[in-house]
Amino acid sequence: MPDEYWFEEGCWISEWWNRAHDPMLSMVRARVPPGGTTRRHRLNGITERYAVLGGQGRIEVGDAPPRNVGPGDVVLIPAGAAQRISNGGAEDLVFFAICTPRFTRGAYEDLEPGRQEMLRKT
């Protein structure tokens, strides 16, 4: 498994696939610790899918009501839709985040106040 690093969004990430020579897709394994919630954000021009591998979570996408997710669930997140996921369970929430086209840092937009400048510096 690729090395894992903390992403300011509020989760641990290990990049499984994100290559310039394959611009149509990227895939990371994300891990949200118990009690954690990712920052509300959107990916401009990128459609994302969360495929939940373990744990229990609650996902918010756009204007849809929040919904509970668990192992085997797949969540479609349209390009530009506001999103965040929280882990209210006792174990890590683990999922693949699959992006089409591939994730690029410039497409990421933090929607919570006070973090825009910090994310630009990284």
pLDDT given for residue 119 in this prediction: 45
- The pTM score is 0.89
pLDDT in tens, 32-78: 999 999 999 999 999 999 999 999 999 999 999 999 999 999 999 99
Domain ranges (residues) in the chain: 4-111
pLDDT given for residue 115 in this prediction: 54
Mean pLDDT of the chain: 93
Can you tell me the distance from the alpha carbon of 5 to that of 30, in angstroms, rounded to the nearest whole number? 10
- What CATH class is the domain 4-111? mainly beta
pLDDT in tens, 81-93: 999 999 999 999 9
Given a contact cutoff of 8 angstroms between Cβ atoms, the answer to whether 79 and 43 are in contact is: yes
